[in-house]
């Protein structure tokens, strides 16, 4: 009782174009202040950054960034509308 498996025809699939314009709509923002660390293991850094170009130029946002960052680094933001929540001081029971 063998099963007959058909070979999938991958040659007739439409080919995707390479994603060369990935950061096409990204907007540069300069980190002005490192606010603090967040995440369950402290792997996320919350920063304040100032948008350099686009319709929101000059606006200061709070963003969460993963990875190593320092003051005056440039972030490329895909969107400039949503702002990260403020960090709160954790409660200590005891």
Give yes or no for residue 57 having a pLDDT over 60: yes
Contact assessment for residue 53 and residue 43, using Cβ atoms and an 8 Å cutoff: no
| pLDDT attached to residue 79 | 92
Question: What token pair was written down for 86?
Answer: 């403020």
| pLDDT attached to residue 92 | 57
Pick the more confident residue, 94 or 60.
Answer: 60
Domains observed in the chain: 31-77 (2.40.50.140)
Bridge partners of residue 60, in order along the sequence = 50
5-9: average pLDDT: 61
């Amino acid at each position: 009782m063998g099963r007959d498996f058909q070979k999938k025809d991958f040659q007739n699939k439409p080919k995707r174009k390479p994603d060369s314009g990935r950061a096409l709509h990204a907007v540069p923002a300069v980190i002005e202040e490192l606010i603090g660390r967040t995440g369950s293991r402290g792997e996320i850094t919350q920063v304040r950054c100032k948008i350099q170009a686009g319709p929101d130029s000059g606006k200061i946002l709070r963003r969460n960034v993963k990875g190593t960052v320092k003051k005056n680094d440039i972030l490329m933001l895909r969107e400039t509308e949503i702002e990260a929540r403020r960090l709160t001081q954790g409660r200590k029971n005891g």
